[in-house]
Amino acid sequence: MMLMQFDNVRLIIKPHTRDYLQKPHKSILKQLCSPRFEVADDSAHSGALIAKADVIIDIATSVAFEAVKRGIPVLSADYLHAGYSTIAHYVPETAMRCRDDIYHAVCSFTKNRYQQFYNAQHRAEFNRHMLDVPDGYVLERYVSLLAAEVQDKKQLAA
């Protein structure tokens, strides 16, 4: 794995919680042997893993929202899927468009792990729009946002 070439990097992978998405990958991942690599237990809470992390590599999951809130750098590996992650939309410096972007970002973190990663204005906008909503109904607002997007696409297609 590309990230294992960095001597001071420990990689913990948390497979997706949906069983049908994690089974094929778990057996492959467990074959990788390194003291600096592990597959997190199913019982490991994502929030606890995030709290211990220096950097998060995310594939468009809302779990990484907590990392942005805490100021932990998130690298949105948008090149691995057809969509565009919410985090990368609000915080463009998180968007990783190819493996080289991830390599260079991790290389930079290993040289200076205390460097400023986020543009303060981008992170504040993300927090304001996605997390610090006035009524506390984050999930409901997110579902409404997605529903509105679907309706817009339907109207465009009609």
Rounded to an integer, the average pLDDT of 15-39 is 68
Q: Is 23 part of a structural domain of the chain?
A: no
Is 120 part of a structural domain of the chain? yes
Residue type, 139: L
Q: Are 68 and 126 in contact (CB under 8 A)?
A: yes
How many domains does the structure of the chain reveal? 1
Residue 63 token pair: 């779990």
Mean pLDDT, range 41-60, rounded to an integer: 87
Residue 130 within a domain: yes
pTM for the full model? 0.76
The pair of structure tokens assigned to 7 is: 């001597």
Q: Report if residue 26 sits inside a domain.
A: no
The tens digit of pLDDT for each residue in 89-127 reads 999 999 999 999 999 999 999 888 878 899 999 999 999
Q: Has residue 1 been placed in a domain?
A: no
In a domain, 133, yes or no: yes
Where do runs of H (alpha helix) occur along the chain? 19-30, 46-52, 65-70, 86-90, 99-111, 120-126, 138-157
Specify if 9 maps to a domain.
no
Is 146 part of a structural domain of the chain? yes
Range of the domain at 75: 45-157
Residue 23, pLDDT above cutoff 70:
no
